[in-house]
Amino acid sequence: MRILVIPTTDWIRHPVPNRLNFIFDTLAEKHEVYVLHFGLKRFSGLEPRQTGCTLLPADWIRAEDPSLYYLLNFPYHLWKIRQIARHLKIDVILSANILPSFAANFAGVPVVFDYLDHLEESASVYYPGSALGEVVKQVVRRITRYNLRHARSVITVTRELSDFLHDLGVKEVTVIANGVDTQALQPLPKEEAKSKLGLSGPVLGYVGSLEHWVDLESVVSALPKIDATLLVVGPGLFTDYGDRIKRMAEELGVIDRVVFTGAVRYQDLSRYISAMDIGLNPLKMMKKNEYAAGGKVFNYLSCGRPVLSSRMVSLERLLGDEIYYYDDVESFVGQVKSILDAVDDESRYRSLAEKYDWRNVSGEYEKVLEKVTDEDKK
């Protein structure tokens, strides 16, 4: 197959690779995979990752704000996608973006839309409490509904999101869970990993972006009641959320037990996750998160670490009692103490992660794309 991927961000420089990076780098071993590459100005100074896909630059006007970037470049993307589809004889387009996905509908090629969460909430969360945020939400909702109606097929991550899409009238929906690179993320000796990072004693860890949908407030609020260090691994991308958490830790007198590493390369994550006694998946109860099944959960499991997550219907349905859940600060404190007292079961968590290896997940994507391509040729 000749596949064109339209991602949500800079393919090689965004500091946190997403599932499409892993899936299509794997599929590129068997198929011709092209990526519409958005050189977002915000990430221009970061070190690029290697990729097996062929990048097709899609920049006409550079802009710092991602929403403005896609808006200003829409006419160019409309033309560019049609040109790529025609000249490279693309069989199918896999798109996860919003405006570029709208442009892809006019390329004369079947489109599979990747719907990972409530996109209007994801787009507007960067403008909290503002009139602009509400405008962004309404515009994105309308465009997304159009994209969903015109897609040949839709892929999503949880049964709850699938039900939501069916309620909107989307007929062809496939649920494919998130995954993990179990070869890259492997358990290392815990105490040795702690020592190399200058840590000791119980360590609670969070890996991911520092943005407003994360609930590190509850975690930091619990620290005065827990004898543990909080290790925060990841960058702040578009907001000052990380700085707010630092100020909160200072006000509560626990800043000496909170360690911020900033962005870390994916291939180095094992060193950090292996130093954790518990991997955290703290998310606020907001629409963006209500049906989420974040990839960080599988990263922790791949390194043999127990996971403590905000209670989420989708995760409970997917993983059941294989991981731990909390509802508020008090239950968080109780769960942390219970997990720290429990016997380590590294091999069980590792075995669970192996079921969700990206190679298995990419095979599911391949089936959807091949089905759409075959139907288009009939």
pLDDT confidence of residue 141: 84
Does residue 28 sit within a domain?
yes
* 52 and 138 fall within a common domain: yes
* 114 and 214 fall within a common domain: no
* 174 and 248 fall within a common domain: no
Reduced to 3 states, what is the DSSP secondary structure of residue 256? Answer: helix
Report the domain count for the chain: 2
Considering only CA atoms, which of 375, 164, 206 is closest in space to residue 307? 206
* 347 and 371 fall within a common domain: no
* 18 and 167 fall within a common domain: yes
Residue whose token pair is 């403005």: 68
Tokens of 270: 């094992």
pLDDT confidence of residue 294: 73
* 285 and 370 fall within a common domain: no
Residue 51 has pLDDT above 80, yes or no: yes
Least confident segment among 76-80, 282-286, 290-294, 318-322: 290-294
Tens of pLDDT, residue by residue over 13-40, are 888 888 999 999 999 999 999 999 998 8
pLDDT confidence of residue 69: 87
Residue 135 has pLDDT above 90, yes or no: no
Host domain of residue 206: 190-354
pLDDT confidence of residue 15: 81
Write the CATH number for 281.
3.40.50.2000
CA distance from start to end of the chain: 16
Tens of pLDDT, residue by residue over 105-125, are 999 999 999 998 766 666 655
- Quick one: which H or E segment has residue 78? helix 74-87
* 143 and 216 fall within a common domain: no
Residue whose token pair is 């709208």: 102
* 162 and 131 fall within a common domain: yes
Across the range 119-138, mean pLDDT stands at: 67
Least confident segment among 69-73, 179-183, 233-237, 302-306: 233-237
* 206 and 305 fall within a common domain: yes
pLDDT confidence of residue 117: 73
Across the range 176-188, mean pLDDT stands at: 93
Distant-in-sequence, close-in-space partners of 234: CB < 8 Å, separation ≥ 6? 15, 16, 206, 207, 208, 209, 210, 261, 262, 263, 264
* 315 and 250 fall within a common domain: yes
Residue 87 has pLDDT above 90, yes or no: yes
pLDDT confidence of residue 123: 61
